[in-house]
Amino acid sequence: MASEESLTALRQRLGLDRSLPAQYLDFVGSALSGDWGESMVTGRPVVTEIMTVLPWTIELTAVSLLLGAAAGIPLGVWAAVNRNRAVDYAVRVASLLGLSFPAFVSAVILLLAFAIQLRWFPVISARSGSVGAWFQSITLPALSLGLIMAAYITRVTRSAMLEVLSEDYVRTARAKGVRWPVVVRRHALRNALLPIITVVGLFLGIQIGNSVLTEIVFNRPGLGKLIVGALNQRDYTMLQGMMVIYTLIVVFVNMLTDIAYGLADPRVKLQ
């Protein structure tokens, strides 16, 4: 146990002897100038530690979002236009399974199948260099996260499409003799995009949380591994920085969602 003298010196050095408002103002002032303190475990600057791994998390989330959207939107549309048929049931069951499967289970199954049995991809997913190496490194983790995203987007797209397909203007378009694929693509899907964008925006935050497990199982650098390490070691300065960065990410994603509204629906304009 440290002596009272050492504790006093440490409190003075860290500014803990000052009032809470003064400490908070100090923190905000330093944070605004890019000084988020140093990790209590490694002694390295918090900003450096976060910025080194942030691109890995953004890359994983972005690629899994693309995969999820590329698979989820067509499947959702397909299920909606075939409502209550075998295809619809199959897609609904598959998407339910996708949502129910914990990320770490699908990750281990993917590793066993593609890294151990088939040997197509490495177990340690942290390669850089050539495009081939990047592709090898990103595929399995992005697939693991993308499957959940795809399942979620499929269900949201199906539900939004069903609502739009029952609107009068869809019936009118069909009555006018517009071809069914055109009705689905231009009249229905375009109008169903807004709720899809909303939930994707919300889910992106959850997906960053899911990336914690994915990063650990695929041994990929990222915010997830950083926050788990900081929690285990009670690295308060690092955790403080992580809270700030997660908040900034959520704000940024919300902003992107708002911009996407404007792109999807011309009636939504920034004033």
Partner 1 sequence: MKRSAFSAAIAFSMLAAPAVAQEPKRDLVVATSQADAGRLDPHLASAGADKGGLNWVFNALVRIKPGETSPEFIEPDLAESWTSSADGTEWTFTLRQGVQCHGGYGEFTAEDAVYSIRRAASKETSAFSGDFAVFDKVEAPDPYTVKVTLKNPIPSLLGLLSNYHGGLMVCGKAAEKLGADFAKHPIGTGPFEFVEYLPQQYIKLKANTAYFRGTPQLDTVTYRYIPSDATRDLAFQSGEVDMIFGRQNNQWVERTLAVPGAVVVGMEPAELNALYLNKTVKPLDHIRVRQAIAHAIDRKLMVAFTGDKVAREAISVVPDGNLGVVNAGLLPHDPEKAKALLAEAGYPDGITLKTIQSSLPVLLKIMETLQAELKKSNITLDMQVVDHPTYMADIRKDLSQVTLYQAARFPVADVYLTQFFHSRSTVNTPGGVVNFSHCDVADAEIDAAKRELDPAKQKELWKIAQEKIVADVCAVPFSEQLVVWAWNGALDLGYDLQGSLNLVPQLTEQTHFTK
Q: What are the residues binding partner 1 (CB under 8 A)?
A: 1, 3-4, 41-44, 49, 52-53, 108, 111-112, 115-116, 119, 122-124, 126, 216-219, 221-222, 225-226, 228-229, 232-234
Please report how close the Cβ of residue 228 comes to partner 1 at its closest, in angstroms.
7
DSSP states of 125-164: ----SSHHHHHHHHHHHHHHHHHHHHHHHHHHHHHHHHHH
Please report how close the Cβ of residue 265 comes to partner 1 at its closest, in angstroms.
41
DSSP states of 18-53: S-HHHHHHHHHHHHHTT---B-TTT-SBHHHHHHHH
Contact assessment for residue 52 and residue 128, using Cβ atoms and an 8 Å cutoff: no
Contact assessment for residue 95 and residue 154, using Cβ atoms and an 8 Å cutoff: yes
- Compare residues 89 and 236 and give the one whose CB is closer to partner 1: 236
- Compare residues 66 and 105 and give the one whose CB is closer to partner 1: 105
Please report how close the Cβ of residue 88 comes to partner 1 at its closest, in angstroms.
36
Q: Residue 35 is which amino acid?
A: D
Q: Which residues pair with 45 in a beta bridge?
A: 38
Please report how close the Cβ of residue 224 comes to partner 1 at its closest, in angstroms.
10
- Compare residues 116 and 248 and give the one whose CB is closer to partner 1: 116
- Compare residues 37 and 74 and give the one whose CB is closer to partner 1: 37
Please report how close the Cβ of residue 16 comes to partner 1 at its closest, in angstroms.
17
Q: Which two tokens stand for residue 181?
A: 């694929």
- Compare residues 13 and 176 and give the one whose CB is closer to partner 1: 13
> Cα–Cα distance between 12 and 203 in angstroms, integer?
43
Q: Smallest Cα–Cα separation from 134: which of 60, 71, 58, 225?
A: 60
Q: Which two tokens stand for residue 200?
A: 């994707």
- Compare residues 139 and 191 and give the one whose CB is closer to partner 1: 139
